[in-house]
Amino acid sequence: MGEKSSAAQVRAILERVSRVIEAAPGLDARSVRVRARVSRRTGDDALGLLMRANFLHREWREGDWRYASAVPYRADEQAPRAAFGVSHSAGQGGA
């Protein structure tokens, strides 16, 4: 259960950071972390993950990296799905 709740927390943080950037494009990393109410490490990790997955892009402006949304991240759309073979309904009904 710990893994699932941890994964859900990560997805929630990614969505929160994404929403902050969508609402105010052009923020620097510090401003994103403050508005998303996450620690420096958590915020930087979230920005890195979102950048690697092409949800964000950044540009160097005014002496700092500024972030903008490429595609909104939504946890319910990005969450991993169980394969049919491991779902609850597999193997149900009939012999």
pLDDT tens-digit profile of 20-76?
A: 999 999 999 999 999 999 999 999 999 999 999 999 999 999 999 999 999 999 988
Residue 30 lies in a domain: yes
Residue 70 located in a structural domain: yes
Residue 1: the pLDDT is 38
Domain containing residue 33: 2-77
Does 88 map to a domain? no
- Domain-located, residue 85: no
Q: What is the CATH number of the domain that holds 26?
A: 1.10.10.10
As a whole number of angstroms, the distance between CA 84 and CA 95 comes to 18
Regarding pTM above 0.95, the answer is no
Cα angle for residues 33, 42, 19 (degrees, 5° grid):
50
Residue 83 in domain: no
What secondary structure does DSSP assign to 15-58, as a single string? HHHHHHHHHSTTB-HHHHHHHHT--HHHHHHHHHHHHHTTSEEE
Number of domains present in the structure of the chain = 1
